[in-house]
Each structure stands twice: as C-alpha cells, then as structure tokens.
Structure 1
Amino acid sequence: MQYKLNSILFFLVSVISYGQVNFSITPDKNNYNGKDIINLTIVLEINGTEFSRQTPLRSPDLSKFNIIGTGSMNNEFEDPETNIAISQYVTRIALEPKQKGKVKIGSFLVTINNKVYKTEPFEVFVKEIDKKLVANNNISNDVYLNMEIEDREVYQDQPTIAVLKVYSRNMDNFRKIKNINLPEQENINVYPVSFTKSDISPPSYGGTMASQILAIFMVFPNEDGYVEVPPVSASVNTYSTKNKIISNKIKLNVKKLPEGAPASFKNAVGNFNVSIYKSSKEKIEAKKPVNVIIKVTGEGNLTHMVLPKIAESPNYKVFNPKITSKVSPGSKGIKGEVLANYVVIPNKDGAISIETTKFSFFNPENKEYVNLGKKTLQLDVLSHKEVIESRTTVETVNEYTNNFLETVNTPVLKTTSFKVKEKDKFHWSILLTNIAILLGIFVIYLLFKKWQKKRNLVKENSQSKSLGSVAETENEIRRTLEADVNDYFSYLENLKNTGDYQKFFLIVEELDLEVRNQYVKGSKEEFAHFLAEYKGIALSEDYLNFSQKIQIEKYSPVKSAEGIEELLKVIVNLYSRISK
C-alpha cells in the first residue's frame, strides 16, 4: 500500500512539473523556393518564478545560411486561470539558404537552473528556382511585412499599439507598396492612427534588409483570453504585375476585467467625464422641441464604447440622437470628445429634470471602476401664453421680422437665412449686414453691365482691325515663340544646376505644350506631321525621337547630372530649330 501511495505521489509531482519550461522552434513552412527567406520563430516559455534563465539563446551552426535579420521580445504576464507567473521570450530569425535540397537546422540551446534545454532539429527543403517564375519578375519574394505589438498583455477593450513594417533588400521596392488592408475580426476593433511612411532605415548590424514603417494602428480586443490578431495584407505593384504580401499573426493575452463591476458598467475602458447641457439659450416652450447634448470626453476606447443615454420620463419625449465626434490618437487610446445630440419635447410646463442613464468606466492605470452616476439638466419650461407675455418689445419686433422673411422667401434671395434670433436687444449688426449684402449685389450688377459694354466695344474694334497676311501672322508667332523659348531655356538651366530633376521634366512638358499651342496643334503626332510638312522630315523625326527619349529619362530610377546636361543640350537645339 505504501508503495502504491509513493507511486501516485511521484506521478502527480511529475505531471505538475511537466511543461514548466517550454522551448520550441517553428518555421513558417517546410518547402522553399531558391530565393525564399526562411523565417524561424523560437519561443521559450517559463512557468513560475522558481526558474531562472542563466544563458542567452545559443544558435546552432548556421553557416549554410545568410542571416538576413533577427529580432526578439520579452513578455511577462499572469495566467488568469492558474494565477501562475509566465515569462515568454520570442525570437525571430530570417535566413537565406546558400544551397539547394535538404538543409538541416540544428538545436537551439538555453540553460535554466543549471539544466540545458534544446529544441528539436529539423530539415527544410529548398527547391531550384523555376525559370518561368524568373520571367514573371515576382518581386514579392523580396518584400516582407512584419507586424509588431510591444504591449501584448492588456485588459479587455484596452488599446494596444501595432506597427506595420516592410523589409526589403532593394530600396526601389518600398515605393511599390500599395493597398494596405488592416486586420478585421469580430473579437477586435481596429482604429488607424497613421498611414504616413517613415524614412527608410538602413540594415541593422549583421543584416542585409532595409526597413520602413508603413502604418500605425490601435487594436482593441473586445473579449478576454488569448486573442489572435490576423495578418495585415498589402500589394506590391509593378508595371506588369500585382503581387499580394501578408504579415505575421500576433497573439495577445487579454486579461479579464476585475470582479465587482457596477451594474452601469458596459464596456468603457479608459478615463472619461460626462456632461449634459442645452445647446441654445432661447426660452423653452412646452410641446416645442429643444436640443439637449450629452458630451463624453476623455481617452480610451472612446469611439467603440456604449455611450450614456437620456433616461425615459413621462415629462418629455426623447428621440434617437445624432452622434458626432472630434477625436485623435493618444498615448493611451483615442482621445477627444463624442457628442450625442438629442431632440427632446417637454410634455408640460414648469420645472422638469432631464437625466442621463448611469455611466461607469474601468481605469486600467488605477485598476479600478469609476462610477459617475447620473447627470441632470434642469429646465424651466414655459407655456405658450407665458412665452408671449415674457417677450420684450424688441423681441416682438424680431418675431414679426422673422415671420415676414419666411413669407417673402424667394429662390433668388434666401431671406430665411437673415432671420433674427430671439435675443434681449435689437441686432443692428444683422440689419447692417443685410443692407451691405443688398448694396453689394447692386454694385456687382453695375460692374457686370460696365464689363459687358466694354466687351462689346472691344469686339467691334477687333473686327474692324486688319488681320494681315498669313506670312505676317507666322512672323508674329515666331517672335512670340522665340522669346518664350529663351525664357524656358534659362529656367531649365537653373533647375539642372539645383538638381530639381522632377521639376525639370515638368517644365519640359510645359515647354512642349506651349510650343504646340502656339502652332495650334493639339497632339504630338499632329505637331510632328506639321513639322514634316513645313519644316522638313528631319526635324519631324528628331522631334519624335526626343519625345520618346524624354519619357525614358523621366521614369528612369537613377538620374545623373551628366545625363540631364546632355538632355538640356538636345532641348535647346531642337526647340531653337523649331522656332526659326
């Protein structure tokens, strides 16, 4: 009996201790093409505080590979089910194989509590490059997306920042990244922060790939437990192909919110404040609508949380609100204000109270719930008779003016926009504004009549003026063109000296368009035909050759000062011959 009891205890102890140190390695796939990058993920997970890591991660012999880049992160959290502290170390290594066929990757080693732990060795198969794939010029194999989330342990509905980076050996590939699609999933809410690309970072020590930040966004997990953030996708666009690339996935440890939440708590996580007020200072009349606004300010999951509402009451009717927001990304979530504009109709006169529903939120910094309770707005509602009796003489005049403007409204002058709002004094500024508008319309009418009369006079003079011969007209065009062309030549010389090549090519296009317009020739083909007929075939062919050359130079990825110098000489020679 004693022997059986000892065996059972030994078995239980072995089961409890099993899995307290988990050390594994996972490749992104097993078969690779010749130019594929092998991405390895090494995960070391230590359960409990009695284990101590004594050595860094030791790699096996990787001489059969080129190390493209490495990265690592540490994460410590507590398992919500077992209350055991867990330390997680994740390392990513990107390798480029030097040979084809089966390649063996040995064991990674680490020492914990004087015991050496190692991963299992494995083999990957690297295939020869298919020649047809080379013809397709699939550059997506040389561009990689990586999603990084530094804080992977958050509360439910608490935001965490995600950064999307692109890696490539070819700098020219960075400008080809288009159509970034952020992850979508039911158990997360995603809020974009910025799609502005950062400066290109050079390769890190020992690596061969440059990097660039493409996007920054916030992730709000709306359920607890382990939540996986799906990958981000993008496209690599070239003139002939469009390739899709995707990033890695990331698993978040979403902590469950503490017990003891108030009954009014929905899903607000952050730090907020609530206020209620009336948007207008006008007198409130029974059975007439009034705008009441609930304003929520703060920072957190501001755009995804359940807002407080106006509580129902027999003293008033309330309609669904119009939601507007003024928010921006903050360091701890989305910050700003959200306004819920309600239309409320009082059912009776007298003093009535408009209350909001109770509102609570969870503050992750203090790890406690905050109950703001109800917010109340006191209204003094008047009957129709009391509203009329309370009006002053000025207010009565304003009311008659508004009624008059409503009855005489026309499509030509929208007089309802000049209505006088009810105030305690006469609005001399509005009256003067109305008079100024009328005077302005009258002045514009006089100026229009004067311009029309002057135009008719110029038209008569131009018709009576002699048009001259065709030769005189061509000479006049040549004189104008010659002056304009010389101005363009000087401007292009300055752009060439300053190195502003993008502006240089824009001015060349403007020069070509100006020359063609002065000869009344729309397209380049029509202008070339015109040059062949009146200037000679040689000049026409030179013009067409130049048009092709300028397009090639414009879209060339590398532009040299010597090439631009030669191109400027061709421009001066060609357009000087055209303008003769």
Structure 2
Amino acid sequence: MQSRLTYILFLLLSVISYGQVNLRVTSDKMVYTTTDVVNLTILLEIEGSDYNNQQTKLRSPDFSKFNLIGTGSVTNGLMDPETNMVIYQSVTRLALEPKQKGKVKIGSFLITFNNKIYKTEPFEILVKEADKKPSVAVNTSKDVYLNMEVEDRDVYQDEPTIAVLKVYSRNMDNLRRVKNIHLPKDNNLDVYPISMAKSEIDPSDYGNMASQVLAIFMIFPNESGYVEVPGASASVSSYAGKNKIVSNKVKINVKKLPEGAPESFKNAVGNFKVSISNVSKEKAEVKKPINVLVKVSGEGNLKNLELPKIAESSDYDVFAPKITSKVTTENTGMKGEILANYLVIPKKAGEISIKTENFAFFDPSKKEYINLGQEVLNVNAFSHDQIMESRTTVEKVNEYTNTFLETVNTPVLKTTSFKVKEKNKFHWNILFVNIAILLALFIVYLLFRNWQKKRRLNKKIEPLEPVGSIAETEEEIRERLKTDVNDYFSYLENLKDKKDYQKFFQIYDELDSEVRSQYFQSSAEDFIDFLENYKGPAIAEQYRSLSQKIQIEKYAPVKSSEAIDMLLQSIVELYSQISK
C-alpha cells in the first residue's frame, strides 16, 4: 500500500513539472448574417517547458464553406511570481466570410506536443440571410479591409522597423475610393513615411481578393518592452458619404539596449560619423565670430538623435547652433546627415582647439557600443593689429573709405550707398538678363495694344438667335455628343483578329465611357439605373451581365479567341440598342 502511494505521488509530481497544454477556440458570436465576418480566436497556453517540444504547427479545420479574409497572431511569455512557472501564450485571430446560409460546422484545430495530439471541440454557428433594407447607396466600407504588416517585430530601442499598409476588397472599384490615409500615432513611437504613393492593384491577392499598397513607413520605438502599434486609418468615399476604416494593431517586442553603455552614449542607435570644420572664409579674429559646423552623418535614428555639442572652454565663447537636416527615409533605413552651425568667438590670439563632446552610439548589426570620442578643430586666431598688418594697401584704402562713408552722411547725397564692397565684381550676365526681360515686356505690351485696336474695329453687333426649350436644347447637346459606335466596333474587330487583347479591353473601356457620357452618366451603377428607367430592365440586365463577363475575361490568365469573339458579338448587340 505504501509503495502505491509513493508511485502515485511521484506520478503527480512528474505531471506538474512536465507542463500543461491548453488549446481552445472561441467566436465573437454564434448567429451571423451572410454579410457578417466571423471572427475566431484560437488561444494556446503552455505551462512549463513544453513550448520547446512542439512537433507540429497549429492545423486548421476545413474552411471550404468560408472565405478567409485575414489572419494575425501574437505571442507572449510571462512568469507566474507565486509558482515561478513559465507560461507561454499564443493568440491567433481568423476573419472568415460565410459562403452559405444555415448551420455551418467549424471543425477542430489540432497541434502536437510530446507525441500527444491536442484538439479543440467542434461547434456550429448559424448563418441567416441579411436583412434587405432599401437605401440610396451601398456602404462600401464593410467590403474594404486595411491590413498593417510589420517586417521585423523584434528590434532594439530606437532601431527602425518597416511597416506596410495594404487595402483588400473583392471589388476593385472600392480600392480607388480609399483616401485620407493616416499613419499610426503613439507617444512611444516615432513614425516617418517612406512612400505614400499607391501601388498598382493586384487583382488576385490573399484569399482571391484585390489588394493595393497604400503606404510604406518606418517605426522607431523609443521604449523597451512589448509595444503595441495602433492601427492606421483611412476613409472610403461612397455616394452616402465617407466611412472610416481602421487597420489591425501590431505588437512588437522592443529589446533593451545591452548594459555597459559608455557615459557619452545618449540615444544614438545605428552607424554614424562625426566631423567638425570651420566654414568661415575670413581669417579668425579675436572677439569676432566664426562659423563652426558639426556634422553627424550615417544611418539610424537621425531625426530624434541627440547631437554632440561643442564643449565649453576658456579660450572661446560658443552660442546655440542652427540645426539643419538632410535626411531621407528608404526601405533600408533612415540615411543622411544632421548639421549644427555654431557661432564661436575666440577670446585670445594664437592656436585654440575647438572640441566636441564625446559621442558614442550602439550598432545593432554588431550588437555593441562604439565610442568615437572627441572631434578637434585647431584654429589660429589673430589679433586686430595682426589682421591690419597682413592687409594690402588697396584693402586698407577700402577699409578707410567704408569707415568714412558709414560715419559721415551728407544731407544732399546718401553717401552710405557708395560703400565699397571688397572682392566684389560687376556681373554683366545679370545686366543682360534684365535688359532682355524689359524688351520682352515692351514687345508684349505693343502686341496687346495692337490686338485691342483690331478687336474694336471688327466688333459687330449680331442679332441674338431665339433660345429653344430645355428639351430641345438637351436633345441638341445629346446629338452633338452622340458617339459613332460603329467605328469602335470595327476597331475592336481588328484588335480581336490581331489577338491584341489588352488593347481590346482598353478600347472597350473607352467605348463604354463615351456612351455613358452621351447620357450624362459618370458611373456604371448610375448608368444601370438609367437603362432600367429609359431602355427597360432587359437592357439593364444585359449591360450588367456583359460588365461581369468583361471583368472575368480581362483578368483571365489564358484568353481564348472563341470567348473574345462571343464578347464582341454581345458588345455589338448591346451598344447598338443603347445608341439608338
């Protein structure tokens, strides 16, 4: 009996120490409509060290009755302070669109740990027909989805990561209505755009949905730990107004910088160089300012970098700098240079050393700190007497003349305007350009006067023609704008024979646009309503069916001449009836 108790005790201890796996799935609700999106949350929790013994990835059940719209996952690891047990948690989100009505079964998710299969319990959801409510326009924002993808989710503090914002929709027309893109904003992040230009539309991306890249941007996390990047937003324009859509949120793991940073390290992360130079053209003179330029160049967090300052000294006075930046953001990182222009006034004559503060940065590629130390600029400052002795006779005369003209001013002539500028030449090019501009203006004036005289001589009073009714005017405009569809038919026939199908569909789009503009209809939806009212429901249904066939054949990977021939016959029959 005692041996059995001992065996049971050791068995329980081994189970507790080995770990526990918990896998479960939940849905946001149990009853949906055909227009709703089914959101599933799969939670995997592992207590102990079993997360190192995972043998298979999470396997999904059969989703043939759904369209997979989007997916995302996040992982966390923490330690229970009471039991000192490590808990590994993985959360996966799936967005599904039901294809059919009625009861739909969602099967089990499977995963294998230590030769043991864990699975979730299958369950059913109910899909109902969506309520058909009459409305003036369709809200397209429900059919448009934003997705934010982060390239690297494991970075150091102040190290950049690249994010891509994409839009998905089953209707490509909805992608063209997405505007007013706003990038994520958070106090723990610095976000800089790389490209806000929309890419070409991909007609069959993930889940057979059309997609388009809206923006590429760079994220600099300035705090360590798990940082959540808020979703980006945009607006979708429709006939009912503008609707706001928001992308998913993304969690990134921001690693702390290693210990042992030098005292001169502030927040520079990347790879940098520091230089100092004297950009003044004149000789350095005591008690007169000179321009000293401190430049930090390289790749990294340049825009929020704490620059090395010029160190204080008893040999000179230094004033706050003017900061300018020449930085570009690219897919490979932020590159460029930051310029700090200082005014430095020497206090004594002779050799003086202008030094910068010590500067150090962290290189993520090498995972180490690099201390660049100080940069030194040696300047030879002269006294006023030394500067005067080194001048030539002509320069001294100019100096005395300028001093006299600045201090003495007659009441008749303002003598300060005659101040001699040293080393200044007369620019003949500027004089010739000004003369040419004056001549051109004079010629334009003469032509304008001549045109006015001819206009007054030829102006005659003509009798006004009687204005017709509104209906007659509209019919006259329509006849004037009427499109000769037969020319388009002949052109399409030639393109079909040449098998230039890309040009074939371009010419069809021009034909469709010309016919719609003839009836003052800007969009295909409005044109369908117009055809139902004035041409009959049969013509409107033929137009709708032909538009769908055109889209299918346009993006078909392989095009057959028989299908294009049938399309051309349908185009000729339909547009001949519409243009009557």
TM-score by length of 2: 0.70
**CA shift for structure 1 position 394:** 5.3
**CA shift for structure 1 position 137:** 1.6
Instruction: After superposition, give the CA deviation of every residue in 1:113-142 in whole Å (9 maximum; x if it has no partner).
Output: 211122465666656534448555211110
Q: Identify the residue that residue 244 of structure 2 maps to in structure 1.
A: 244
Instruction: After superposition, give the CA deviation of every residue in 1:270-300 in whole Å (9 maximum; x if it has no partner).
Output: 1111111122232122222222111111111
Correspondence 1:25-424 to 2 at 5 A = 25=25, 32-40=32-40, 42=42, 51-63=52-64, 65-69=65-69, 93-98=94-99, 105-119=106-120, 129-132=130-133, 137-204=138-205, 207-393=207-393, 395-396=395-396
Q: Identify the residue that residue 489 of structure 2 maps to in structure 1.
A: none
SS of residue in 2 equivalent to 1:140: helix
CA distance in 1, matches of 2:86, 2:331: 27
**CA shift for structure 1 position 193:** 0.9
CA distance in 2, matches of 1:187, 1:540: 64
CA distance in 2, matches of 1:38, 1:263: 54
Q: Which structure 1 residue ranges, 5 or more long, are not aligned?
A: 409-414, 475-529, 571-580
Q: Aligned AA for 2:212? A: Q
Q: Aligned AA for 2:327? A: V
**CA shift for structure 1 position 468:** 7.6
**CA shift for structure 1 position 212:** 1.3
SS of residue in 2 equivalent to 1:288: coil
Q: Aligned AA for 1:437? A: I
Q: Aligned AA for 2:189? A: I
Q: Identify the residue that residue 542 of structure 1 maps to in structure 2.
A: 475
CA distance in 1, matches of 2:89, 2:401: 75
Q: 1:16 to 1:318 in 2, by over 3 A?
A: farther
Q: Identify the residue that residue 555 of structure 2 maps to in structure 1.
A: none
SS of residue in 2 equivalent to 1:202: coil
Q: 1:440 to 1:245 in 2, by over 3 A?
A: closer
- Native 8 Å contact 2:43 2:89 kept in 1: yes
SS of residue in 1 equivalent to 2:208: coil
**CA shift for structure 1 position 301:** 1.2
CA distance in 1, matches of 2:313, 2:344: 11
Q: Aligned AA for 1:368? A: E
CA distance in 1, matches of 2:375, 2:331: 28
Q: 1:2 to 1:247 in 2, by over 3 A?
A: farther
Instruction: After superposition, give the CA deviation of every residue in 1:249-274 in whole Å (9 maximum; x if it has no partner).
Output: 11111111111111111111111111
Q: 1:135 to 1:401 in 2, by over 3 A?
A: farther
CA distance in 1, matches of 2:36, 2:162: 30
Q: 1:453 to 1:245 in 2, by over 3 A?
A: closer
Q: 1:22 to 1:359 in 2, by over 3 A?
A: farther
Q: Aligned AA for 1:118? A: K
- What value does the CA root-mean-square deviation take over the aligned residues? 4.7
- Native 8 Å contact 2:139 2:238 kept in 1: no
SS of residue in 2 equivalent to 1:377: strand
**CA shift for structure 1 position 324:** 1.4
CA distance in 2, matches of 1:236, 1:57: 35
Q: Identify the residue that residue 430 of structure 2 maps to in structure 1.
A: 437
Q: 1:125 to 1:229 in 2, by over 3 A?
A: farther
Q: 1:174 to 1:325 in 2, by over 3 A?
A: same
Q: Aligned AA for 2:157? A: Q
Q: Aligned AA for 1:541? A: E
Q: Which structure 2 residue ranges, 5 or more long, are not aligned?
A: 410-415, 482-515, 526-546, 551-566
SS of residue in 2 equivalent to 1:95: strand
SS of residue in 2 equivalent to 1:552: coil
SS of residue in 1 equivalent to 2:385: helix
Instruction: After superposition, give the CA deviation of every residue in 1:501-534 in whole Å (9 maximum; x if it has no partner).
Output: xxxxxxxxxxxxxxxxxxxxxxxxxxxxx7653x
Q: 1:370 to 1:52 in 2, by over 3 A?
A: same
**CA shift for structure 1 position 77:** 10
CA distance in 1, matches of 2:141, 2:180: 14
- Native 8 Å contact 2:265 2:359 kept in 1: yes
CA distance in 2, matches of 1:310, 1:237: 53
Instruction: After superposition, give the CA deviation of every residue in 1:389-421 in whole Å (9 maximum; x if it has no partner).
Output: 22234544665797799999xxxxxx99x9856
Q: 1:242 to 1:306 in 2, by over 3 A?
A: same
**CA shift for structure 1 position 92:** 5.3
CA distance in 2, matches of 1:10, 1:360: 56
Q: 1:445 to 1:35 in 2, by over 3 A?
A: closer
- Native 8 Å contact 1:165 1:212 kept in 2: yes
Q: Aligned AA for 1:542? A: E
SS of residue in 2 equivalent to 1:386: helix
CA distance in 1, matches of 2:8, 2:390: 95
- Native 8 Å contact 2:354 2:377 kept in 1: yes
**CA shift for structure 1 position 150:** 2.8
CA distance in 2, matches of 1:92, 1:391: 80
**CA shift for structure 1 position 198:** 1.6
CA distance in 2, matches of 1:302, 1:78: 34
Q: 1:147 to 1:459 in 2, by over 3 A?
A: closer
CA distance in 1, matches of 2:310, 2:382: 21
SS of residue in 2 equivalent to 1:217: strand
- Native 8 Å contact 1:271 1:363 kept in 2: yes
CA distance in 2, matches of 1:185, 1:72: 21
**CA shift for structure 1 position 385:** 2.3
- Native 8 Å contact 1:77 1:153 kept in 2: no
Instruction: After superposition, give the CA deviation of every residue in 1:29-86 in whole Å (9 maximum; x if it has no partner).
Output: 77755312224454657785883443343323445x322346678999999x9xx999
**CA shift for structure 1 position 541:** 3.4
CA distance in 2, matches of 1:30, 1:150: 35
**CA shift for structure 1 position 317:** 2.5
- Native 8 Å contact 1:300 1:332 kept in 2: no
Q: 1:352 to 1:440 in 2, by over 3 A?
A: same
**CA shift for structure 1 position 332:** 4.4
% identity of equivalent residues: 52
- Native 8 Å contact 2:137 2:238 kept in 1: no
CA distance in 1, matches of 2:162, 2:188: 16
CA distance in 2, matches of 1:451, 1:183: 54
SS of residue in 2 equivalent to 1:387: helix
- Native 8 Å contact 1:221 1:254 kept in 2: yes
Aligned pair count reads 489
SS of residue in 2 equivalent to 1:54: coil
Q: Aligned AA for 2:430? A: I
Instruction: After superposition, give the CA deviation of every residue in 1:162-182 in whole Å (9 maximum; x if it has no partner).
Output: 111111000001111111111
Q: Aligned AA for 2:301? A: N
CA distance in 2, matches of 1:111, 1:139: 42
Q: Which moves more between the two structures, 550-559 or 270-279?
A: 550-559
